[in-house]
Structure 1
Amino acid sequence: MKFNFGIFDGFFGKVFDKKTGGFVPSGKRKDIDYELEEGLKNIESEGHLVLEIKRNMDEIVVIYQRWVNKELEDEIDIAALIISKKGIWIPHPHMIVHREESSKSLHIADIKIKGDCINKGYGSLMMSHLLKKARNEKNEVYFITGVISSVDADHIDRLLHFYKKHGFLYRLDESITTGQLLWINDEITLTNEQIDIIFNQITFFGLKNTIKLA
């Protein structure tokens, strides 16, 4: 099955309930190796980069970074192509991260995982590659930030467990339904006072000001 990822996501996003997503039957039904081969061809042709291929008996998950050949990588988009005997899951789970060069930080703008894909480990697969990227760019990425918004209120415990598992610190506001998230690169040592200053700078759009560590 040959497809353009953007068009494919957009078209079938209209067919399925946007809140749940669903499987699109494959061209060669139940032949997941064929779909993997076709999927890898399309990932390469669209200018995306395969980061990991993970498989078990019933499913193959391809973690890939979208549009890595852009001149400026001010936005990082990591996605998961999920292939099973039921077909291909649409829309692809993905996370959007903005780079803030002035503060040497990355900011998690959104993680979109819908329906039956929730709590299946896809978020952790994507996050592990984001953290690997941050560690590899230790001189350019000191922090990863994010926010907890009121729309997360009904699953805040699950959300906090996810981020804590990946080494994030968090601060909740008085409402206990909103807050800030902070991951600090292993190469950086901060005092509690410096950490407090950074937390106070986190907004929906990243850090408000350049952070001076010296």
Structure 2
Amino acid sequence: MINTAFLEENKSKHDIKKELDSLEIQLFRMRQNIKEIAKRWEIISIDQTDADNWVVIFVDKADDNCQLMLHDCHTAFRGNWNAAIQAEYKDSNTIHIADIKGEQNKGYGSILMNHLKELAHEENIQYITGDIVERDFDHVNRLKHFYNKHRFEVKIDHQDQSGEIIWNEG
């Protein structure tokens, strides 16, 4: 286990200043980004990635679908998100994930998935489902790992290049 107190003590003044400058810029951009995002969408949270980047999470809900979106505060918001989960309400008990889009290896998908599960909980929705389709099979092992990490049951048929995921609130 790494002794974080030891690492903190051994950071140079330059490294600490660099971190503080980055945080100050992110907080300034966060304030500006929230103003712009709130003009069109409902902001549901701010969060932080594993790399300590601040992000704004916002949602667009319609009658039978919703889109959770995320914007990283390292850049100014210009109307585009960095990652999104598109989902539809199948019935009063189920949200079905239609697609997850955005930059990979930044933790955005995990942040959005946690907020989708929180949304399901708040709306008393018991299941989140999704399909794994042929176009996903170039990264199917990565998908399986991602969904397992988020406590989904993952069923994959490698021969037919298809699969399904199910998360149960219970």
TM-score in terms of structure 2 length = 0.74
The higher relative CO (CA closer than 8 Å, separation ≥ 6) is in 1
Root-mean-square deviation (CA, aligned residues, Å) is: 2.4
- 2:56/2:71 contact within 8 Å kept: yes
Identity of aligned residues (%): 30
Taking the aligned partners of 1:181 and 1:54, their CA distance within structure 2 comes to 26
Amino acid at match of 2:38: E
Partner of 2:56: 62
1:108 maps onto 2:97 in alignment = yes
Partner of 2:7: none
Secondary structure of residue in 2 paired with 1:119: coil
Secondary structure of residue in 2 paired with 1:160: helix
Would you identify which runs of 4 or more consecutive aligned residues in structure 1 move more than 4 Å?
55-58, 88-91
Count of matched residue pairs: 145
Partner of 2:131: 147
Partner of 2:149: 165
Taking the aligned partners of 1:166 and 1:177, their CA distance within structure 2 comes to 22
Q: 1:127 aligns with which of 92, 108, 113?
A: 113
Q: Show structure 2 runs of 5+ residues with no match.
A: 1-23
Amino acid at match of 1:152: D
Instruction: Write out per-residue CA displacement over residues 68-115 of structure 1, whole angstroms, 9 at most, x where no aligned residue.
Output: 5x5x3x21111110122xx3585521010100226x2110000002xx
Taking the aligned partners of 2:99 and 2:59, their CA distance within structure 1 comes to 15
Instruction: Write out per-residue CA displacement over residues 21-54 of structure 1, whole angstroms, 9 at most, x where no aligned residue.
Output: xxxxxxxxx9333321111001211132232232
Q: Show structure 1 runs of 5+ residues with no match.
A: 1-29, 187-214
Cα separation, partners in 2 of 1:143 and 1:56, compared to 1, 3 Å: closer
Partner of 1:92: 82
Taking the aligned partners of 1:134 and 1:142, their CA distance within structure 2 comes to 7
Secondary structure of residue in 1 paired with 2:161: coil
1:47 maps onto 2:37 in alignment = no
